Structure 1
Amino acid sequence: MSEHYEDDKSRAAKASFYHAYFSLKNILIGSYIVLSILVISIFAVVTSKVTEQIITEKENRAVINSLRNIDDRITLKLDNYGTVMNSLAYSESTQTLLKQASELSNQRQLELVNEVYYRMNEVNVTNTEINAIQLMDLSGKKYTLNNGNYYMEGLMDNYFESPLYDQVRSLNGGLFIDYSGAYSRDTNNLTLYRTINELRGTRPIGVIAMSIKKQALGSILFQDSDLPLTSLIDISGITVIDAQKELQGTESAISFNSFTDIASSFQTPLYGDNYFITYLKNKHYDYTLVNRAPIGSIYQDVAFIKKVNFYLILFNLLVVVIIAVFLSRTLVKPINELIGLMNRVRQGNLNIKMTNPPLNEIGILANNFNEMVTTLRNSVPLRKEQLIGKLLLGRTADSGLLQQAKELGLPAFDSAHGVAVVEINDRSNIDASGVSIDDVEILLQSELAAIHSSALLHILDARRVIMIVHGEDEDIVPYLHKMLNEQKNIPVTIGVGRFYASAEHIHESYLEALDALNYKHLFDRNGMIYINDIQAYVYSYEQLDVLEDGIVHAVKYMKEEELLSMIDKLFITFKEQFVSKEAMNRTIVNTYLKIFKLMSDRGIDLFGSEQSNIQVPSINNIHLHAGAHELKREFAAFLQSATRLIEERREKRMNETIAGAIEIIQSRYADNDLSAGNIAKELHISENYFSKLFKHETGVNFSQYVTTVRMEAAEKLLRQTGNKIGEIALQVGYNDANYFSLCFKGAFGVSPGKYREKQGN
């Protein structure tokens, strides 16, 4: 009985124990505790993983942003070098040197090289960064421009025989950069190459190379202290610039095949440790920026978070909520604010910044963001100038060009635009009054703002300003021309190109405007020249030669009325056929030389004391005349003076007997029986004495003089009448038309029929 009682008591105790520990309350509490621990554990694990991803992404973005800052500075620096090379390649001196070097004297070549060297220093960005610049024409002749004490002898050695020739040529004026020194055989320097094309075409006429110190880009690359292990790797996988100097010029230990995107990251074993690799590719200049950081340093924050999460299991859900709220305030809110600011920057708002950034990694991103916005805001004027330069040079194929114009507040260029070039005349007067090309630009900018015009301005050189004008504002060009010339008393000529409907034709309009200015010598001084008013004639040099000979003939035979007529005809021909200034000057110089020879043959010393009242023109200064009117005035004055000198000399040397003989010849040249003997009888002197006296006084024998008179009469009949050649021969004293034609060709170089054709009769 007692045994049964003990068993019952034992069973009751066990039941009480099970009831105490497995009651619903305890189960709920235990379940709650277990669930809380489970939730917190899962939260801790998930938080650790998410935190790892966030920190990794954060580190990646921070490094990418820093690399982008570096890339922007390097790209800007290389663009500046490209601008230097572009300015040199399209300077008039370089074009002349490479196209006409074989025709130039050594002195002129030296002057052009010095002029290009001066231009290099004038446009150079930083003198200490550029070692040397070399030009080479297609024949392999080199012109070296040393910057300071630097010099590189082998910059272009074996250029034509190396693969470098094809690579540079294929870019058609674009930059090719030898980062690793494979071609220049110098690992301490970068070398930039590009072809030089003709100013208005794509035909290559030479090549230009520029040697740059690698430390110039290295200083940009490593000025960021938070990127100590950054490298620049070229397209062939060679480390060009590296924080560890011993790696420079060697093949990169990072697989180049991994660089698949423009910007990305990956992990890889390197130098016996795991590294986090972040890279940014620059396709424009074919290089990649690579930053490497040990995985341990990247995940230090992750390990700390994991440790904190381990202790979080000991806390209740309230702590979890507090931590969540804390994380929300310290991480999510600043990130959202930063993302919002970035979106506003994308929309073109550069007048913003993140205030009161947190004192953590997000604060670093915020500071970098603020610096980036400041850099962008400061670079807007430069970017505008670069974009306008691309439009003028025809580089409209660049991706995003119109979008860049929109972001910079420039017109969309999706409608008609044209180019006008404003050129200042009389620089000596302008300089004396203190007006520079910058002053002219300010005047134009102020006037355009006052009339709310969207026209763009770009200074080309010390004398010219370029205007890109919308088609609807075409009328402002003559308005601005009048404002400068009349209101501001600044003498300018404006060349205007055609208006085109798309941006890719702005380059053509620019070239047309420059071409129009080439004809300003034919138009009114300080005028406007539209390319539509210029007609491209293929003028005949033979026709100009005939006019030259006509002028010399009129001077020779003292026919002042005919001389003035021929001068008018010559300058009318210049204008009607739009003869270039070079061809016009050549014609004037040739005429002067023929007149000088004629005067010398007549024994007249133009430079002697007797002729001190005669203004002898300077051939060297012909090109200095601003226009055809001024040149014509000086030209006519000298020729009239030369005519009067010849006439005075003739009157001094001609005695009455010969004067009488000449009068007989002039009145009876049509008589085929006219002879020295007949005239000698009429003058009552012997034929032998008459011939000698005639030769002495006139400088030619009797028969030559008669032939000359007859040829002059024949030439006049050919120009003024439609008589047949045989009739004209009889009218001037020749019974044989064939003999007449032979004499005429001997005098004028062409037959009578061809001479009449040239005169248009």
Structure 2
Amino acid sequence: MKKDQNLEVLDKKKRNYQNYMRHFAASQFVRKDKDQEGMQKLASEVGYRLDAKRHVAILYRVNHLPGNWKKTDYELYYFTVENVFCELLGEKNCCISYINFQKSLCLLVGICESPYDAEWIRSLLKKTIEVCDPEGDLGTTAVIGGFYTEANQLYDSYIEAFALERKRCFYEHSGVFYVEDATEEQQENGYLLQNDDFIQRLVAAMRQNQRSLVKEMLRTFADSLALLQPSREQFLLQINQVSSALLDFAMEYGVTETVEKNSKLFSSDYIEISSVSEIQTELIRYGEQILQQVHLSKNSSNSAIVRRTKEYIKAHYQDDELCLEQIADALDVNLQYMCFLFKKQTDTTIGAYILQTRMEMAGKLFQRTNYNVTEVAQRVGFFDVSYFSKCFKKYFGVSPKQYQNVSSNYLKTT
């Protein structure tokens, strides 16, 4: 009895060692800097045929892991997947595997007898999925790399499969895919959307506090980009441009801290593990949160539109052609909304504020310089001197000349 137990323990240790070596060998075979001599020794120990007619790397991934699954659960599941696939593959062919850092099962296959084509491997993978995930609840993605005649080219096959797998999983595609089926998708540079016009329209809608429109614009943008299916990197680049515009808007309105400056959209860890739908949801959430905080901000000093309007007027009051349209265009805001917001928060119109600014500056010039009325009028944006004098008298209660004389006499006596 004791002897049988010892034999059972030894047998279990042997199996564990063999499994470990098979996983270790597979992880080494997909390295770029392989040691050829070491590769031959490993292949001999784990039974991988380096002289196989074709070699190919396959990545098998479960996209919807059950929430209660632990590492041992999906490892056991992948063990089942490998056994089913190897049984379908046949004894004359060979296969070793390991689970990579992305939690995908990497199958390295050596095909010793025909057929050597992708359709045959595709059919085996489809049968494997039918057996291991009959209900389709796990959302399995299986990607077949390129077929190569040399075992040391397994690295190339793996990299091809890895790149395509990332894209398929990013766009939440389930099924079996082969790298050569995606050749038409490589013309990705032409798929880029033109973001500048979209961002201008988005920011304009946000400044007008059109929340429903902003939400719909962000959703449509992500949907349209997903339909084009550019590379994962290009998709994220364009999302980053839009999210950066949202962040700039938040900074402009002084609500950066309250909208979590370190949003998930700016986290590399979040981006690495997220899918298109998750990123779309976060983009919309971020835009809505910014608008909510801007709306809640009642302090007029926090209103960037009013502040920037005042700053623009103070910088351009000398321009005799200064008008509301010019200010709205310069600030990239809706004219009616700009006028409404300014009146609401300052209890005066923009036109009245322009006149006030010009009159105050005219008064300072009369006090501090020897400019005559015509010179002062031109320096504060009035082409018509008589109209300037009329506005000045209405504002100060005296004519420009009288104000100038009083200021001059005051300076002489001080």
Instruction: Give the TM-score of the pair, scaled to structure 2.
Output: 0.51
Deviation sequence 1:140-181 (CA, Å, 0-9, x none):
xxxxxxxxxxxxxxxxxxxxxxxxxxxxxxxxxxxxxxxxxx
What is the identity, as a one-letter code, of the residue corresponding to 2:95? L
Separation in 1, partners of 2:107, 2:57: 6
Q: Which residue matches 2:97?
A: 458
Q: For 2:177 and 2:155, how far apart are their aligned partners in 1?
A: 18
1:676-721 CA-partner distances (Å, limit 9, x unpaired): 7xxxxxxxxxxxxxx99873427894599xxxxxxxxxxxxxxxxx
Q: Which amino acid in structure 1 is aligned with residue 231 of structure 2?
A: F
Report the equivalent of 1:392. 30
> Which residue number corresponds to residue 586 of structure 1?
240
* Amino acid in the other structure paired with 2:108: I
Q: Distance in 1 between matches of 2:38 and 2:339?
A: 89
Aligned to 1:445: 82
Tell me which residue corresponds to 1:555. 206
Residues 555 and 435 from structure 1, CA distance in 2 versus in 1: closer, same or farther, beyond 3 angstroms?
Answer: same
**Distance across 1 between alignment mates of 2:339 and 2:245:** 32
Contact 1:393 1:507 in 2 (8 A): yes
Gaps (5+ residues) in structure 1?
1-375, 609-615, 653-672, 677-690, 705-761
Q: Residues 433, 498 of structure 1: CA spacing in aligned structure 2 closer, same or farther, 3 A cutoff?
A: closer
The residue that corresponds to 1:564 in the other structure is 216
Distance 2:344 2:131 in 1: 63
Change (3 A) 1:414 1:521: closer
1:468 alignment partner, one of 74, 89, 108: 108
Moved more, 400-409 or 461-470: 400-409
Deviations, residues 365-409 of structure 1 (Å, cap 9, x unaligned): xxxxxxxxxxx9998766655654443225678369679857864
Distance of 1:500 and 1:692 partners within structure 2: 69
| Cα 1:592/1:479, change in 2 over 3 Å | farther
Q: Which residue of 1 aligns with 2:67?
A: 429
Partner-residue secondary structure (3-state), 2:244: helix
In 2 relative to 1, CA 430–582 (structure 1 residues): closer, same or farther, beyond 3 Å?
A: farther
Using the alignment, how far apart are the partners of 1:387 and 1:693 within structure 2? 71
Q: Is the 8 A contact 2:50 2:150 kept in 1?
A: no
Q: What code does the residue aligned with 2:241 have?
A: T
Q: CA deviation at 1:497?
A: 1.9
Q: Structure 1 residues 618 and 578, CA, compared in 2 at 3 Å: closer, same or farther?
A: closer
SS of structure 2 residue aligned to 1:418: strand
Query: 1:508: how far off?
Result: 0.1
Please tell me the residue identity of whatever aligns with 1:398. Q
Q: Work out which of the two has the higher radius of gyration on C-alpha atoms and give 1 or 2.
A: 1
Which residue in the other structure is 2:229 paired with? 576
The structure, 1 or 2, with the larger RCO (C-alpha pairs under 8 Å, 6+ apart) is 2
> Do the aligned residues in 2 keep the contact of 1:695 with 1:702 (CA within 8 Å)?
no
CA distance in structure 2 between the aligned counterparts of 1:426 and 1:479, rounded to whole angstroms: 19
| CA deviation string 1:408-438 (max 9, x = no partner) | 643455423321223444667253596132x
Deviation at 1:564, TM superposition (A): 2.5
**Distance of 1:627 and 1:521 partners within structure 2:** 7
> CA 1:446/1:606 → structure 2, altered by over 3 Å: closer, same or farther?
same
- Give the whole-Å Cα distance in 1 for the aligned partners of 2:193 and 2:121: 44
- Which among 160, 183, 186 is matched to residue 535 of structure 1? 186
Shift of 1:513: 1.7
Measure, in 2, the Cα distance between the counterparts of 1:694 and 1:588.
Answer: 25
Deviation at 1:507, TM superposition (A): 1.2
Bigger strand share: 1
Call closer, same or farther: CA 1:377–1:577 in 2, change over 3 Å.
closer
Question: Is the partner of 1:431 in helix, strand or coil?
Answer: coil
Whole-Å separation in 2 of the counterparts to 1:623 and 1:377: 39
Q: Which residue of 2 aligns with 1:420?
A: 58
Show CA shifts across 1:287-338 (max 9, x none): xxxxxxxxxxxxxxxxxxxxxxxxxxxxxxxxxxxxxxxxxxxxxxxxxxxx
Deviations 1:192-214 (A, max 9, x none): xxxxxxxxxxxxxxxxxxxxxxx
- Name 2:277's counterpart in structure 1: 629
- What code does the residue aligned with 1:419 have? A
Q: Which residue of 2 aligns with 1:516?
A: 164
Find the residue that maps to 1:508 and give its secondary structure: helix
What is the rounded CA distance, in whole Å, between the counterparts of 1:391 and 1:563 in structure 2?
48
Q: Distance in 1 between matches of 2:352 and 2:136?
A: 66
State the one-letter code of the partner of 2:96: L
In the superposition, relative to structure 1, how do residues 424 and 703 fare at CA in structure 2: closer, same or farther (>3 Å)?
farther
CA distance in 2, matches of 1:605, 1:379: 55
What is the correspondence of 1:593-608 to structure 2 with a 5 Å cutoff?
A: 593-600=247-254, 607=258
CA distance in 1, matches of 2:241, 2:174: 25
SS at match of 1:417: strand
> Which one-letter code corresponds to 1:436 in the other structure?
Y
Name the CA distance, whole Å, in 1 between partners of 2:200 and 2:339.
30
Tell me the secondary structure at the aligned position of residue 436 of structure 1: helix
Q: The residue matched to 1:517 in structure 2 has which SS? A: helix
Say whether the 8 Å CA contact 1:494–1:527 is kept in structure 2. Answer: yes
Shift of 1:466: 0.8
In 1: Cα distance, 2:22 partner to 2:293 partner:
63
Given that 1:422 and 1:464 are in contact with CA atoms closer than 8 Å, whether structure 2 keeps it comes out as: yes
Classify 1:513/1:649 alpha carbon distance in 2 versus 1 (closer, same or farther; 3 Å): same
Change in CA separation of 1:508 and 1:696 when aligned onto 2, cut-off 3 Å: same
| Structure 2 unaligned regions, length at least 5 | 1-13, 112-116, 301-320, 325-337, 354-414
Native 8 Å contact 1:521 1:626 kept in 2: no
- Does residue 695 of the first structure (1) align with residue 342 of the second (2)? yes
Q: What is the percent sequence identity of the aligned residues?
A: 10
2:86, 2:64 → 1: CA distance? 27
TM-aligned CA distance change 1:598 to 1:491, over 3 Å: same
